[in-house]
A and B are shown apart, each in its own frame.
Chain A
């Protein structure tokens, strides 16, 4: 049973052309995260939503934006992708209202290629 779904799995975009990645979840978790993972590196948190509250990491470029229209869906918008934005983008969820609020459930990721 898919719990955290990311679409598309592979995305190719052109330099400077806006792109949107999507994430949906069936877990009804109140927290959703977006990570960037470059080759052979650890996932790096870009931002997260705690309910409707957006929390940006200090070093996340302005080029990256996010929207969460409802509990189930969250989007990552890259306004003007550069070659350095090519990476795997991971969505994760967690529930703050459980004993295991620290446990994050990850989707399969979207691999973004910038040409």
Chain B
């Protein structure tokens, strides 16, 4: 469902530590799951995706884990840097017949990196 709230959950992390951001999704038929990063005043930026038939995918400093049993998605950021400070959204993709794809975003998490 849509996130309704005035305050985003915040994760404060020390520079150099690892960050873990969690997300629950709703539709077991979703074919891809994507993490987006959104910096203040900017549009969401693609970070990494995972197909529904996988349980782990690694990128540069980021790892996404998918647990379909409990409909849970997580993003791990290794050696968090000041430039990682942003709001992170998970999104699930579904195909729409004769109309392309549709993303449904989960609630975001704000990551604050402390120097």
Binding site for B on A (CB under 8 A): 4, 30-31, 39-45, 48, 50, 53, 55, 90, 92, 94, 96, 100-109, 111
Q: Cβ of A90 and Cβ of B8 under 8 Å apart?
A: no
Q: A31-B101, A42-B107, A102-B49 are in contact. List 12 more A-B contacts (CB 8 A).
A: A40-B6, A40-B108, A55-B96, A94-B100, A102-B32, A102-B34, A102-B101, A106-B36, A106-B43, A106-B45, A109-B43, A111-B41
User: Among A40, A44, A102, A111, which residue has its beta carbon within 8 angstroms of that of B2?
Assistant: A44
**In this complex, what residue of A is CB-closest to B6?**
A40
Bound Cα distance A101, B94 (Å): 11
Known: A102-B32, A102-B34, A102-B49. A43 touches B44 (CB 8 A): yes
Contact yes or no, B101 A96, CB < 8 A:
yes
Contact (Cβ within 8 A) B6 A42: no
Query: How many chain-B residues does the 8 Å CB contact rule pick out?
Result: 32
Cβ–Cβ < 8 Å partners of A4 in chain B: 43
Residues of chain A within 8 A of B42, CB atoms compared: 108-109
Mark B residues whose CB is within 8 Å of A. 2-8, 31-32, 34, 36, 41-46, 49, 89, 93, 96, 98-108
When chains A and B are docked, how far (Å) is the Cα of A45 from the Cα of B89? 14
Cross-interface CB contact of A40 among B5, B41, B46, cutoff 8 Å? B5
- Select which of B3, B100, B103 is within 8 A of A96 by beta carbon: B100
Note all chain A residues with C-beta closer than 8 A to B8. Answer: 40
Across-interface contacts of A103 in B (CB, < 8 A): 34, 46, 49
B108, A42: Cβ atoms closer than 8 Å: yes
A16 to B89, CA, bound (A): 32
List chain B residues, Cβ under 8 A from A31: 100-101
A25 to B55, CA, bound (A): 34
